[in-house]
Amino acid sequence: MTAIEALAGRAATLEDRRRFERYLDLFVRWNRTHRMTALESPSAIVRDLFLDSLLFLPLLPPRPLTVVDIGAGAGIPGLPMRLVEPGIALTLVESKRKRVSFLLAACRELGLSDVIVKEGRAEALVQSDAGLAGTFDAAVSRAVGPAPALFAVACKYLKPGGLFIAAGPPQPLVRRPFETIRVVVPGSRSRRVLLKAIKEG
């Protein structure tokens, strides 16, 4: 919970703890059956998924803003971000049916009735659903493909000047239009790499 204070700029509340505990419980139960991640222990899920998701927050524009999570999987990084930032209007895009079912269940369980879940491949959805094209302030993603190809898809969702942030590989190639950002994980000496890019107007 100290990560919330460090990364969201506010003290964690009992409600924060309660909602993350419910999210973790649901995540662990579904993971036993549907194998949404190779991580098995609750502590590893908190450290490597929930906490890593919150590392995106300081890089986002001032809230309120609209955010699309491309390849959301089990809701990473979008759901942890939304849990601590109500000013984020979140849309989760995921192509796998079982993970979509989990996302819908998680949103119900966590009382996130305003979070939108879209099933389908990101590049196809944005073509078939006109309400998704060019409407988001920011797009986020975690490990769903090479950054240049992912950015090309994200640009279809973003407004001109919109921000793209993705979790990068340990030693990313530094090339335009990406800015490489190394972030220290609160409470540890670990570092993560995030890639940032802006959609040109």
Give per-residue pLDDT as tens, 31-90. 999 988 999 899 999 999 999 999 999 999 999 999 999 999 999 999 999 999 999 999
For residue 170, the model assigns a pLDDT of 59
Q: Within 10 Å of residue 49's Cβ, how many Cβ atoms?
A: 22
What strand order describes the sheet that includes 65-70?
A: 116-119, 88-94, 65-70, 136-142, 158-167, 191-198, 179-184
Segments of the chain with pLDDT less than 70 = 143-144, 169-174
For residue 19, the model assigns a pLDDT of 96
Query: Cα 80 to chain center, whole Å?
Result: 7
Beta-bridge partner residues of 65: 88
For residue 173, the model assigns a pLDDT of 58
- Contacts of residue 98, Cβ cutoff 8 Å, sequence gap at least 6: 34, 36
For residue 68, the model assigns a pLDDT of 98
Provide the whole-model pTM.
0.95
3-state secondary structure at position 181: strand
For residue 171, the model assigns a pLDDT of 53
Q: Is the peptide bond before 64 cis (omega within 30 degrees of 0)?
A: yes
Do residues 110 and 38 lie in contact, with contact meaning Cβ atoms separated by under 8 Å? no
For residue 120, the model assigns a pLDDT of 97
For residue 6, the model assigns a pLDDT of 86
For residue 161, the model assigns a pLDDT of 97
What single-letter amino acid sits at 77?
P
3-state secondary structure at position 104: helix
HSE-CB of 122 using CA atoms within 13 angstroms = 25
For residue 189, the model assigns a pLDDT of 83
Work out the mean pLDDT of the chain and round it to a whole number.
Answer: 92
Q: What is the CA radius of gyration of the chain?
A: 16
What single-letter amino acid sits at 126?
V
The first and second tokens of residue 66, run together, are 């609209």
Rounded alpha-carbon distances, angstroms, from residue 99 to 12, 13, 69, 130, 132: 28, 28, 13, 24, 20
